[in-house]
Chains A and B, each alone.
Chain A
Amino acid sequence: MFPDMAAWRSALTIFHWRAAFGLAVLLSTVAAASINAVDKQTSAAFQMAAAAELASATVEFERLHGQKPGDRSITLGRALTLAGRQPRTERNLLAAAKLLDDLMAGPADALAAEAAYHRTRLVQALAGTTAAEVEPSHRAVWENFPGTLQAERAFVLHAIGRQHAPMSLAERHRELIRLDTQAEALLTRDSPRRMYHLAASTAWARLAGNEARARDHLLVVHALGLADDYGYSNVIARLAEYHRRAGDNHGALRFYREFLERYPSDRRTDMISRWVNRLEADIHATR
């Protein structure tokens, strides 16, 4: 009756094996599709947050959290939207901080670095830009996540706070030098570097009255450029003025001419063109 039970068994096994494999493939495809769908939806939610559509992003992240509770990206999205929700409440901020702490306790990857950075932004937002209690939080980012973009940004924001903390003039001088040395070692990316050097040039000139150091920092900003075009016009004008005050008329002329080329209709253009005429005449007279 059953001439070849072994064959049947074998066929059945093969069938089972194939069915199991097929089912697994099917399930994994469905799961992958589902994960991909969630990932796409997560990206879409981040797109909303990036476009400042905070209310929609909040709803979307909460919905996605229901679908995929352990997803760290979604957790970060929830933390960001909780922190940004207006008006800010202590409850929301504490909940955001808890989510960020959980992320930082996980693998030390890019997402943990982002979480650490935003954790320190929460501390800074609550305490104030120059508050002393912000420093350990900033330091934790660049010490625990060295080499990341977030580490460099945290250092820049830390430096801005330290540059402007009340202290004696002698202390400020020492502090600005210390920060310059630290920045040299820590900052490798253009974006944090240009902002560090801009802030340092401002602090050296406006707070410490040292235009030579301010000029050196501004030369770095000049080389790296700024997104803010009007801010960049200030960089060029300041470089020209610092060179002129230091007696370097050729250096001043270089930047004055660059200003005239780039900003022909600025409120300073006419005065700067008069400086060019004056300095050219002075140079000519001394030949």
Chain B
Amino acid sequence: MRPVDGLRLAAGLVLGCSAAACAERVLRVAHVNLDPPVRAAFDEVARDFEALRPGVRVEQLPVPLRIYHAWQRTQLVGGTPPDLMELLPSVREEDLVQYYRDLTPELFAPNPHNAGTELAGRPWRETFVTNLGEKPNFIASLLRYYSVPSSVVTWRLVYNETLLRDEFGIAAPPRTVAELAEQCDRIVRLNRERGLNIVPLVAENWKGRALLMGIARSATASLQRALDPLGSYYNWDDEIAAAFLLGRWSFETPAWRDALAQMRAAGRHLPGGFLQLADGDASFKFIQGRAVFFVAVSREFTNLLDQCRFSLGVADLPRADSAGARPIAEGNVLSLANLAIPHASRQPDLALDFMRFLTSQAGNRRFADRSRWLPAVQGVAVAEELASLSPNRAGDPPGFAPWMIGPSGTDMLINRELHTLLNPGGSVESFLAAIGPQWRGSLVGGLRRMQQNNRRLIEQLDVILGARDRLETQSSPVHGDAGSGSAGLFETLAVLELQSAYYDLVLAGAEHGAEAVGIAPLPVAGSLSWPEN
């Protein structure tokens, strides 16, 4: 027993209450995962942690997703947040800087709860199945880590095996868009003939969009490489937008048109107006046995296993089968249940300790086993029933889809005009005619908005860097995140300036031509053909 525990015990005896009740430290964890198995999983991990840390009680605060943002903001602004909070990918950079602890130094040190495992001694950051390279774990614009995941997400085409095989006579699920389209056509025809009231494919809103994006990214994988000006094999949308504005690809580029044609081939089987469907609308139909295919995220699989009264099958999302299309690697998968420590946490060290425990091999194994979610930590075996959901690393880096640079880019335009591609009378031509007048402006607007965001961040970083410089000159220790000193901040700032300067030049090139502003043609990517899978 530590001396302080002894004192607490003594005080407790004097005051007539148990040491546990008197000395209890309550650690509160807020998250948005309301599914009973996931809440039970958090509870089990909490009990294990409490056993390791006598006198500590972990309390979870599940908050519905639809009110989470407002609730979270109220807690943060009021200075009364719980000790750990789930971060959603939509979190804003300025809020991270203002309200959350930078975890970068901790992530570069080993996780002590991995002692005795093969992960012992490895930096915490390197113990996850992802590289933690994406928001909200790593914030590229800040070059900082702010949260760690409890699980990861993959996308799959889930199917009713009984219907597919027995009712429609299809032996295997589709691997390509052509196969999906053919199977859906068959299902529609047989359904009409037999009056079954069954639809081939359901997906609501963002899940339908994920299916179409995956197809487009597969179709444009080779084009993306050809447009890569740095030779880094993968670039974000801004580089693809820049390439369009500089005249390096156009609406006539075959791979782009193929991508749209492939999206149409699969998407015409999605429910009409699927972008307006609420979460659960599609899964309800699938669980009732009235749909053959359902686009699902891995975290839904728990519910599907519990509720479906038929044999469930799982397949990868179909890939495009046009010229230049490639299977896409599921690297850098999305993370889930990402926990962060607010600056205002009253016990940040205990919060960090719990976070490390939850993402240790032992803690994450317990969490994954109970929740039936995919583990986020290396070396934690995936349950046999979830094996088909594990990230499939085979394939090429993804290409791009028409949704570019988020809401400030082409998202709204594409969502609004998608029906001209997917509806029965739709076509690639009508879609291009619909988006054409605003496409270029949307890309320019997206880049400008990114510049504005960069500028806001730079203004903040300038103050922070100036203050840190002064403290370092005065030899005053900088509290909180000593590992991310002024050198790291300057790196962030310089990268943001570099990005802004490049966008300036691209926008000038969009107006006057690439050569006129001094941008050389793309390099030829060498004579070797790319290695096949």
- A residues sitting closer than 8 Å to B (CB atoms) are 43, 46-54, 57, 73, 76-77, 80-81, 83-84, 86, 88, 110-111, 114, 118, 121, 125, 128-130, 149-150, 153, 156-157, 160-161, 163-169, 171-172, 190-192, 194-195, 198-199, 202, 205-211, 226-231, 233-234, 237-238, 241-242, 244-245, 263, 265-272, 274-275, 277-278
Contacts and interface: CB of A to CB of B under 8 A. Distances in A.
Contacts of A202: 230, 498, 502
Nearest to A262: B126
A49 B463 contact: yes
Interface string B456-474: 1011101110111111011
B138 to A, nearest CB: 7
B462 A84 contact: yes
A117 B394 CA distance: 48
Nearest to B481: A51
Contacts of B501: 129-130, 160-161, 163-164
Contacts of B129: 265
Given A50-B478, A52-B97, A195-B490, A43 B471 contact: yes
A88 B456 CA distance: 10
Nearest to A259: B233
B143 A80 contact: no
A245 B484 CA distance: 36
B505 A149 contact: no
A149 B498 CA distance: 19
A79 to B, nearest CB: 8
Contact of B232 (A129, A226, A234, A269): A234
A244 B498 CA distance: 26
Interface stretch (B192-200, B291-299, B405-413, B519-527): B519-527
Given A230-B131, A231-B143, A50 B497 contact: no
Contacts of A52: 97-98, 460, 463-464
B395 interface: yes
Contacts of B484: 227
B517 interface: yes
Given A47-B479, A244-B526, A265-B331, A169 B515 contact: yes
A157 B468 CA distance: 19
B521 A199 contact: no
A209 B234 CA distance: 18
13 contacts: A46-B474, A129-B497, A160-B498, A164-B501, A198-B498, A237-B233, A241-B233, A244-B528, A245-B231, A265-B131, A268-B234, A270-B329, A270-B394
B396 A271 contact: yes
A229 B233 contact: no
A161 B505 CA distance: 10
A95 B533 CA distance: 62
B231 A271 contact: no
B140 interface: yes
B147 to A, nearest CB: 15
Contact of B504 (A77, A88, A128, A244): A128
A173 B231 CA distance: 20
Given A84-B460, A129-B501, A267-B397, A241 B231 contact: yes
A234 B140 CA distance: 13
Contacts of B398: 267
B229 interface: yes
Contacts of B456: 86
Given A191-B490, A271-B530, 6 more contacts: A46-B467, A226-B491, A229-B138, A230-B138, A237-B232, A241-B232
B133 interface: yes
A231 to B, nearest CB: 7
Given A114-B469, A206-B230, A209-B523, A43 B487 contact: no
B130 A265 contact: yes
A195 B464 contact: no
B290 interface: no
Contacts of B508: 166
Contacts of B531: 271, 274-275, 277-278
A163 B391 CA distance: 40
A160 B490 CA distance: 13
B459 A207 contact: no
Given A229-B133, A268-B331, A269-B393, A205 B490 contact: no
Interface in B403-443: none
A195 B504 contact: no
Contact of A164 (B473, B495, B502): B502
Contacts of B470: 46, 73, 76-77, 111, 114
Contact of A270 (B130, B396, B462, B519): B396
Nearest 5 A-B pairs (CB), nearest first?
A267-B331, A209-B520, A49-B467, A84-B463, A164-B501
B518 interface: yes
A147 to B, nearest CB: 15
Contact of A205 (B229, B462, B512, B525): B229
A190 B486 CA distance: 12
Contacts of A211: 231, 523
Given A80-B463, A80-B467, A269-B331, A227 B498 contact: no
Nearest to B123: A229
Given A160-B501, A270-B393, A51 B479 contact: yes
A54 B391 CA distance: 42
Contact of A194 (B332, B474, B491, B512): B491
Contacts of B133: 229-230, 233, 266
Nearest to A163: B501
A90 B484 CA distance: 32
B186 interface: no
Contacts of B343: 51
A125 B493 CA distance: 12
B494 interface: yes
Nearest to A115: B466
Contacts of B397: 267-268, 271
Contacts of B229: 205-206
A187 B518 CA distance: 26
A228 B491 contact: yes
Contacts of B140: 228, 230
A53 B97 CA distance: 9
